């Protein structure tokens, strides 16, 4: 095991992927900033009510991308090209099916979905404009996530990063143009966000035009067993993303009852900033994922353990630095999204930010452990970690806080859920290690005489 080579590859991959993930998350944050300037607290509340749909879009895209990318990476060095093409083709066909469902929802059910997400008469029109546009452009978001994940596993993390950054830059420029000079309001903000993945995909197409790609579409029938394996290995990423949307939905419901629309607007600021910091750790974990899968394919356990330790240390350091930075700059951060000067919203957001973001060190560890178990072909454990931190612990905690009528406990629900999940993940990890150590130390059964004759 060459630690220097592993370390260099690790930082090269995670840097590109962290920048790439943050770039994708900036789509929503830029919308938040410009919408707060153009449409005030009602616009922020409308945007926040639409965020769960983004979580489902990203969840399905990352499920197919991370699952397919993991299989592709394991097969990359030890099989023929047709097999890697089979992985990508099946992931692409599944993406088309999911995109068709989102399109249908956008055309026929956007109004019902907007009401289901909790929009009242004050914000329904704004939220519906944004949500319907996003749903109609859902294939672009799904395909973008799929291609980004495969490029990372095809030794092109820098190109994936460049594509997402260019998409984010286009979103920034178009947000301003559509909302202010053209006066398009929420439709303009949504349209700017929807154009961004097309820019990203056009940049990443260089990988195919130059012939560097080790995967492409082939004319073949879908394979149920392949699709099942892709979903199994990528389901933890789906749970991670979708659970974020379910948490936002639960928080919106509880906070609206406790604090009204001002509370939802304040939580909108917190949730959007959380998307960026969460992307930091998702980028770190997805960056180390190709390396863990590669060394698992080579059966190099020492390299995998070293990568795990390096990932966890990096994650905790990044989390502590991020929290201190955010804690010190809480007031200017909230002020940037409070153009109307709403005092109630400002107080709720400032208090919430300082408590809510205590989740970061624990969330980073959980993201790394999910990827570790997935790369070790233990997808059920990875899925359990994602479910625990995402829904099974946090949502009951939020509603318990509501019963106690405590907004402080609402903000603490996420950090406590992440902490309990960390404890669970490490108990499982040490149990598996102890079990494998005991198994390895058992004496081998003596060979029978007849076997030697």
pLDDT in tens, 240-291: 778 777 888 888 889 988 888 788 888 888 887 887 888 888 888 878 877 8
How far apart (Å, rounded) are the C-alpha atoms in residues 391 and 334? 27
pLDDT in tens, 171-199: 889 989 998 999 888 889 889 989 999 99
Nearest to 247 by CA among 412, 411, 391, 59: 391
For residue 450, being part of any structural domain is answered with no
By the 8 A CB rule, do 226 and 90 touch? yes
For residue 441, being part of any structural domain is answered with no
By the 8 A CB rule, do 416 and 397 touch? yes
For residue 52, being part of any structural domain is answered with yes
Mean pLDDT of 92-115: 94
Nearest to 370 by CA among 271, 226, 235: 235
- Read off the pTM: 0.70
SS percent in the chain: helix, strand, coil, step 5: 85, 0, 15
For residue 277, being part of any structural domain is answered with yes
For residue 188, being part of any structural domain is answered with yes
Per-residue HEC secondary structure of 127-161 comes to HHHHHHHHHHCHHHHHHHHHHHHHHHHCCCHHHHH
For residue 376, being part of any structural domain is answered with yes
Nearest to 382 by CA among 329, 346, 343, 429: 429
Question: Which tokens in the block code for residue 46?
Answer: 């409308």
Provide the number of structural domains found in the chain. 1
By the 8 A CB rule, do 200 and 167 touch? yes
Is the pLDDT at 405 greater than 60? The verdict is yes
Residue 447 pLDDT level (bands cut at 50, 70, 90): very low
Q: What is the DSSP letter of 119?
A: -
Q: Which structural domain, as residue segments, surrounds residue 353?
A: 3-215+224-431
Q: What confidence score (pLDDT) does residue 134 get?
A: 92
How far apart (Å, rounded) are the C-alpha atoms in residues 69 and 92? 12
Is the pLDDT at 451 greater than 60? The verdict is no
How far apart (Å, rounded) are the C-alpha atoms in residues 280 and 273? 11
DSSP, collapsed to helix, strand or coil, labels residue 315 as helix
Is the pLDDT at 92 greater than 70? The verdict is yes
Q: What confidence score (pLDDT) does residue 171 get?
A: 86
**Which single residue is written with the structure tokens 């990372």?**
152
Is the pLDDT at 217 greater than 80? The verdict is yes
For residue 448, being part of any structural domain is answered with no
Higher pLDDT, 185 or 139: 139
Is the pLDDT at 77 greater than 70? The verdict is no
Q: What confidence score (pLDDT) does residue 317 get?
A: 93
* Neighbouring C-beta atoms of residue 168, cutoff 10 Å: 22
For residue 443, being part of any structural domain is answered with no
Q: What confidence score (pLDDT) does residue 375 get?
A: 80
Higher pLDDT, 303 or 61: 61
pLDDT in tens, 26-55: 666 776 788 888 887 788 778 878 878 888
Q: What confidence score (pLDDT) does residue 439 get?
A: 63
Q: Kindly report the CA angle at 376 between 93 and 285, in degrees rounded to 5?
A: 75
Cα distances (angstroms) measured from residue 52 to each of 49, 101, 400: 7, 16, 21
How far apart (Å, rounded) are the C-alpha atoms in residues 65 and 72? 10
* Dihedral over Cα of 323, 26, 131, 123: its sign: positive
């Amino acid at each position: 095991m060459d630690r220097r080579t592993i370390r260099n590859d690790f930082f090269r991959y995670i840097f590109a992927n962290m920048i790439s993930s943050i770039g994708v998350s900036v789509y929503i944050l830029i919308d938040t900033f410009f919408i707060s300037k153009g449409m005030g607290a009602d616009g922020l509340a409308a945007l926040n009510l639409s965020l769960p749909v983004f979580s489902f879009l990203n969840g399905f895209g990352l499920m197919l991308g991370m699952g397919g990318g993991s299989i592709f990476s394991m097969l990359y060095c030890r099989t023929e090209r047709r097999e890697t093409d089979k992985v990508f083709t099946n992931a692409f066909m599944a993406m088309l099916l999911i995109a068709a469902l989102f399109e249908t929802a956008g055309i026929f059910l956007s109004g019902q979905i907007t009401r289901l997400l909790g929009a009242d008469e004050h914000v329904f029109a704004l939220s519906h404009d944004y949500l319907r546009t996003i749903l109609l452009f859902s294939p672009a978001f799904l395909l973008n996530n799929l291609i980004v994940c495969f490029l990372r596993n095809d030794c092109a993390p820098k190109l994936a990063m460049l594509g997402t950054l260019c998409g984010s830059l286009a979103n920034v420029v178009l947000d301003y143009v559509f909302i202010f000079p053209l006066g398009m309001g929420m439709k303009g903000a949504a349209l700017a966000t929807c154009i961004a993945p097309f820019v990203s995909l056009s940049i990443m197409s260089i990988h195919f035009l130059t012939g560097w790609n080790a995967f492409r579409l082939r004319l073949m029938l879908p394979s149920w067993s392949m699709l099942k394996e892709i979903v199994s290995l990528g389901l933890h990423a789906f749970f991670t993303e979708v659970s974020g949307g379910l948490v936002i939905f639960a928080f919106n419901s509880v906070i609206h009852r406790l604090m009204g629309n001002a509370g939802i607007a304040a939580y909108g600021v917190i949730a959007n900033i959380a998307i960026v910091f969460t992307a930091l750790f998702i980028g770190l974990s997805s960056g180390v994922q190709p390396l863990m899968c590669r060394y698992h394919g080579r059966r190099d356990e020492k390299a995998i353990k070293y990568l795990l330790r390096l990932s966890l240390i990096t994650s905790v350091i990044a989390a502590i630095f991020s929290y201190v930075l955010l804690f010190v700059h809480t007031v200017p951060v909230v002020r940037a999204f409070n153009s109307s000067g709403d005092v109630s919203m400002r107080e709720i957001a400032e208090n919430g930010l300082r408590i809510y973001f205590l989740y970061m060190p624990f969330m980073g560890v959980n993201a790394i452990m999910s990827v570790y178990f997935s790369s070790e072909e233990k997808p059920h454990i990875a899925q359990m970690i994602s479910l625990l931190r995402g829904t099974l612990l946090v949502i009951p905690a939020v509603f318990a806080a509501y019963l106690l009528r405590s907004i402080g406990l609402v903000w603490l629900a996420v950090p406590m859920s992440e902490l309990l999940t960390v404890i669970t993940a490490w108990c499982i990890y040490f149990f598996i290690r102890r079990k494998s150590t005991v198994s390895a130390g058992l004496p081998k059964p003596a060979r029978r005489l007849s076997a030697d004759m």
